[in-house]
Amino acid sequence: MKISCIIPAFNEEKTIFGIVEAAKGSGLFDEIIVISDGSTDMTPYILKRIGGIDFIDLEQNIGKGGAVWQGLNKATGEIIVMLDGDLIGVSAEHLEKIINPLKNEGVHVCIGIIQHKRRLWMSFIQRTASVLSGQQAFFKYLVEDANIKDSRFGLEIALKNHFKKKKARIKKVLLPGVSHLMKEQKMGLGQGIKHRGKMYREVGKEMKNRIKEKLKSTK
């Protein structure tokens, strides 16, 4: 069964090399597609110099949903593994934990919940808001008609609702030892807070859109 890995990245110069090398080193993927979503830092420069990947360099930022959609259009695998570009500490064992339920347990979607070693509060948030995790494996056929192109940071909410409509069987697994850089660490305090606020607004907008759709369908 062919497996494609999709990694969207926006200004991830501090972590993108590590996560791409972890994906390559795992030996689990038939193709690794990395999308620089209009990055203005060194992310494109780094990715252009990594061999063994399919690199999509978007000139303008179109949001996470659009970047992943670009990757899906290029992907040829039956299984898609989606990973964030700011992950730290990912191993082949972690990736297998996300993939194996689809191969062996009749699961359609598997969501990986990262566990910060020192940030207990962040680990709690990851568990309680697991639908927002960017670490997911799913069968490609499930998302061929998904409305995610314009979802931006609302991507995971859009996927959650799409999978619900498809009545997909979903499993969640913990990924101990995996963490990610906070936006404040990547961008500095001021820009990080600003970017986080933008992310929450886009997530809220996507949730509002899905509620409206649900209300329309019940009329």
CATH number at residue 33: 3.90.550.10
pLDDT digits (tens, 9 = 90+) for 45-104: 999 999 999 999 999 999 999 999 999 999 999 999 999 999 999 999 999 999 999 999
List Cβ neighbours of 196 (8 Å cut-off, separation of 6 or more): 183, 184
- The pLDDT, as a whole number, for residue 11 is 93
Confidence class for position 123, pLDDT limits 50, 70, 90: very low
Q: Which of 51, 46, 37 is nearest to 9 (CA)?
A: 37
Residue 170: C-alpha distances to residues 48, 107, 146 (Å): 35, 6, 16
For the chain, the average pLDDT equals 85
Residue type, 93: E
- The pLDDT, as a whole number, for residue 60 is 95
Q: Does the structure show a pLDDT above 60 at 120?
A: no
Domain count, the chain: 1
- The pLDDT, as a whole number, for residue 194 is 52
Can you tell me whether residue 198 is helix, strand or coil?
helix
Q: Does the structure show a pLDDT above 80 at 215?
A: no
List Cβ neighbours of 150 (8 Å cut-off, separation of 6 or more): 63, 65, 66
The alpha carbons of the chain give a radius of gyration, in whole angstroms, of 16
**Two tokens, residue 93:** 């064992």
pTM comes to 0.81
Torsion of CA 134, 147, 81, 180, to 10 degrees: -10
Domain that holds residue 148: 3-218
Contact criterion met (CB below 8 Å) for 46 and 21? no
